[in-house]
Chains A and B, each alone.
Chain A
Amino acid sequence: METRRRRLLLLVLVGPATLILLSTSIVPLVYSVLLSLQNYNLTDPFGRRFVGLYQFVRALRDPRLWQATVTTFQILVPSLVIELVLGIGIALLLNRKSRGLKAFRACILLPMMVTPVVVGLMWALMYNTNFGILNYFLSLVGAGAVEWLAYPNLAKLSLILVDIWQSTPFVVLIVLAGLQSLPPLAYLAARVDGATRWQTLRYITLPMLRPIIAVATLFRLLSLLVSFDVIYVLTGGGPGSATETLSMYIYKQGFVLCDVSYASALSYIFLVASIVATTRLVKLTAAPSQQYSGGGAS
């Protein structure tokens, strides 16, 4: 009797949450799998039928998908590397007790607080060829007006710049938190052993920060992979398809061309590729740090 009552209580407590989870997460997930196995275009509801893996085969033969993949990495890799280097550098600078640093810390985190759409609109004004502030500064040194978003490479560079501006503070925040949690004893020991500042950074700080950097890298990687808002506002994927990233391409298929089945198939391909990439990254970065912390403990 007691067990029965206990089971009933469990059901009452867990049931609603399970139902909500099922309806908001699992059902759409299953539905999108079903969609990816059909040829459903919203403009042709009567032509909807089961087509098996056709959409996935179509994706593999789609040159624009491969182009979008290349474009994604052309924007992702430089953004990620520069954000990490700058983020770690700034965090090291901020990790000291000095006057005014608190205010500076607060200021440097501001870009992270701004909504991506607002960031896009703000930078669209700054990149404006005729009255943008960037070209104004360039004109002060006698340089001509730059058409920031008009040409493929420059448009990519402009997007990278915006991402660095907005997301470096995130890396700073994480690394700074990591730095402040490092054990002071290790530094004391290094100083006793006569280590230089560079040696301390190279052999103490960075290895101990490795798991923290891995987390920052993972978050930034995921965020860059699905980056959409700023690209949509600034370039819309153009000029041509120069800034058409994977998420932009999937959006176009689903929302502009209303080809929801193909968009679902592309999303699943994208999801699997992202999981593989991030899992690999976690393995690469996490393993040595565990050995390190193990060694440190002994």
Chain B
Amino acid sequence: MKRALSLAFVLALVLGAACTPGLARSYRRFDGVKLEFIMVDDPQVYAIRKHLPEFKKLTGIDVTITEYPLSSLMEKQLLSLISGTGKPDLVGFDLWFVGAFGRTDTLLPLDSFINELKNDRDFDFADLLSRHVEGYRYKDRQIGVGFIPVQMLQVYRKDLFESPKYRSEFKAKYGYDLKPPETMKQFMDVVKFFTRDTDGDGKIDLWGTATQMQRDDPIYCAFTHFMYPYGGEIIDPKTKRPVFNSKTNVRALTDFVTMVHNYCPPGTLGYGWGDMTAAMQKGDVAIQLNWNVFMGEYEDPSKSKVAGKLGYTPTPGEVTKRSLLGGWGIGINKQSRNKEAAKEFIRWLLSKETDLAVTLSGGAAPMRVSTYKNAEVAKRFPHGPASNLTAAYSTPPPPVPEFPAILEIVGLALSEAASKQKSPKEALDDAQAKLDDVMRGAGYYK
């Protein structure tokens, strides 16, 4: 009887502890282990770094994060991984280059680890943004998992869209109500409508939109807002043949160039991410399609004239509803001598507690739906729901190892068309031939 009572007491203690909300999970200890992590120079990394002492306290693992500029990151990471020295233990790599990293076969397959996390009730795997987990699959294996989920959304000036004057004027001109666009046709109407001289001095001082036009990644992102909804592709996912000069893409690029030259502020052709963000912060534009990671900048009153005046919706569709997915994932070096410790770091990094803590200390992109639901985060990131809705229909670029070359060819063609060195058709035809060389040369077809 006494024994049964003791057993029941111990059981009750264990169950009670398990059900206590907010109880930190226990981590395996790896005292004295040092992990090296190479990552791009990003504000999210600064926020993560603030919490590394907590991780060391929990596990005894000392993590050193080394940041490199984007321009030299991939080359540095690939060289380190291929060298076979086992260093760095962890790499933070671009979702767009999953194919390039995958082909090197230098990253540890994480399938069993992911299954372990899925079975861990405390971890709550289903709470992670699934697209940013699935995106890191190369062929039949998981080579990483997202930790900076970047996705597009539509941000607009509520004060302009709700103005009775603009609403009636828009209805009279276009025959339907002024509202955040749901199709690219409506988007073009809206940017055309808002491009105007608001103070009557004869100069346009409000522009429809601003976008990112620098080669190669920025202009690629900007063009996909047209190409994807219009139903275009760069590479046919099944045959792997390029389909970049399709009629759909010619139409998409023509509309894109029209928008840039007529409804964007002067200088847009040289814009990068920072410039397009600044245009919105200054109140120069009415609507924008931009990455979620910049939205915190819009809602900071010390940096933005439009803080508190913005509304957020998913990106518009047209023929299809599709948007571009981006972000950074973390992978483990196959040659690392500290694989288990590295897994423990990933488990900690993606845990509910760390995701929330990192977001609250300056992180720009939470990886968990529950983090967006936190009252303080929801106040800082009102774009959360729109961003997550867009993620549901977003896809990364073609996950082929040749993507760096594809990006360079596409970026050049778009830039040539935008600066009117070539017509959209000429630019796409030239790029199609180069893409064909790349894909044929890689042996996808004869």
Interface residues in chain A, defined as those with a beta carbon under 8 Å from any beta carbon in chain B: 42-46, 127-130, 145, 147-152, 232, 235-242, 252, 254-258
Does A240 contact B267, Cβ atoms closer than 8 Å? Answer: no
Does B75 contact A258, Cβ atoms closer than 8 Å? Answer: yes
Does A150 contact B270, Cβ atoms closer than 8 Å? Answer: yes
Interface residues in chain B, defined as those with a beta carbon under 8 Å from any beta carbon in chain A: 71-72, 74-75, 78-79, 82, 99-101, 103-106, 214-216, 265-267, 269-270, 284, 401, 404-405, 408, 412, 415-416, 418-422
Does B419 contact A238, Cβ atoms closer than 8 Å? Answer: yes
Bound-state CA distance A254–B78 (Å) is: 12
Bound-state CA distance A149–B266 (Å) is: 11
Does A151 contact B419, Cβ atoms closer than 8 Å? Answer: yes
Closest to B403 in A: A43
Does B215 contact A238, Cβ atoms closer than 8 Å? Answer: yes
Could you say which residues of chain B place their CB within 8 Å of the CB of A128?
A: 267
Known contacts: A43-B401, A130-B265, A147-B266. The answer to whether A256 contacts B408 by CB under 8 A is yes
Closest to B74 in A: A258
List the 5 shortest-distance A-B pairs measured between CB atoms, nearest first: A129-B267, A150-B269, A239-B419, A240-B416, A43-B100
Does A240 contact B75, Cβ atoms closer than 8 Å? Answer: no
Bound-state CA distance A239–B71 (Å) is: 18
Does A45 contact B267, Cβ atoms closer than 8 Å? Answer: no
Bound-state CA distance A72–B421 (Å) is: 18
Could you say which residues of chain A place their CB within 8 Å of the CB of B106?
A: 45
Could you say which residues of chain B place their CB within 8 Å of the CB of A145?
A: 266-267
Could you say which residues of chain A place their CB within 8 Å of the CB of B421?
A: 152, 239-240, 242
Does A43 contact B404, Cβ atoms closer than 8 Å? Answer: yes
Closest to A148 in B: B270
Does A255 contact B75, Cβ atoms closer than 8 Å? Answer: yes
Could you say which residues of chain A place their CB within 8 Å of the CB of B422?
A: 240
Q: How far is the CB of B402 from chain A (nearest CB, A)?
A: 8
Known contacts: A43-B100, A152-B419. The answer to whether A256 contacts B404 by CB under 8 A is yes
Of A46, A232, A240, A252, which one neighbours B408 at CB under 8 angstroms?
A252
User: With A43-B103, A238-B215 given, can you name 20 additional A-B contacts, CB distance below 8 Å?
Assistant: A42-B82, A43-B101, A130-B267, A147-B266, A149-B269, A149-B270, A150-B269, A152-B419, A235-B270, A238-B214, A239-B421, A240-B412, A240-B415, A240-B416, A240-B419, A255-B72, A255-B75, A256-B216, A256-B404, A257-B405
Bound-state CA distance A224–B1 (Å) is: 92
Closest to B405 in A: A257
Does A43 contact B419, Cβ atoms closer than 8 Å? Answer: no
Could you say which residues of chain B place their CB within 8 Å of the CB of A256?
A: 216, 404, 408
Could you say which residues of chain B place their CB within 8 Å of the CB of A45?
A: 82, 104, 106
The 15 sampled A-B contact pairs (Cβ below 8 Å) are A42-B75, A42-B78, A42-B79, A42-B82, A42-B104, A44-B401, A46-B105, A127-B270, A130-B284, A151-B269, A232-B71, A238-B419, A239-B416, A240-B419, A257-B405
Could you say which residues of chain A place their CB within 8 Å of the CB of B418?
A: 239
Could you say which residues of chain B place their CB within 8 Å of the CB of A149?
A: 269-270
Could you say which residues of chain B place their CB within 8 Å of the CB of A236?
A: 214-215
Q: How far is the CB of B411 from chain A (nearest CB, A)?
A: 9
Could you say which residues of chain A place their CB within 8 Å of the CB of B405?
A: 257
Known contacts: A46-B105, A238-B215, A240-B412. The answer to whether A150 contacts B419 by CB under 8 A is yes
Q: How far is the CB of A237 from chain B (nearest CB, A)?
A: 6
Max chain B Cβ within 10 angstroms of own Cβ: one of A148, A235, A257: A257
Closest to B97 in A: A43
Max chain B Cβ within 10 angstroms of own Cβ: one of A42, A150, A239, A254: A239
Could you say which residues of chain B place their CB within 8 Å of the CB of A237?
A: 215
Q: How far is the CB of B389 from chain A (nearest CB, A)?
A: 32
Known contacts: A145-B267, A147-B267, A150-B267. The answer to whether A258 contacts B100 by CB under 8 A is yes
Of B105, B214, B215, B266, which one neighbours A130 at CB under 8 angstroms?
B266
Known contacts: A42-B79, A236-B215, A257-B404. The answer to whether A129 contacts B103 by CB under 8 A is no
Bound-state CA distance A232–B270 (Å) is: 13
Could you say which residues of chain A place their CB within 8 Å of the CB of B75?
A: 42, 254-255, 258
Closest to A145 in B: B266
Could you say which residues of chain B place their CB within 8 Å of the CB of A44?
A: 103-104, 401
Could you say which residues of chain B place their CB within 8 Å of the CB of A257?
A: 404-405, 408
Could you say which residues of chain B place their CB within 8 Å of the CB of A150?
A: 267, 269-270, 419
Closest to A237 in B: B215
Q: How far is the CB of B270 from chain A (nearest CB, A)?
A: 4
Could you say which residues of chain B place their CB within 8 Å of the CB of A235?
A: 270
Could you say which residues of chain A place their CB within 8 Å of the CB of B214?
A: 236, 238
Q: How far is the CB of A123 from chain B (nearest CB, A)?
A: 12
Closest to A40 in B: B82
Max chain A Cβ within 10 angstroms of own Cβ: one of B71, B104, B416, B419: B419
Could you say which residues of chain B place their CB within 8 Å of the CB of A241?
A: 412, 415-416
Q: How far is the CB of A131 from chain B (nearest CB, A)?
A: 9
Bound-state CA distance A156–B155 (Å) is: 35
Closest to A238 in B: B215
Q: How far is the CB of A198 from chain B (nearest CB, A)?
A: 45
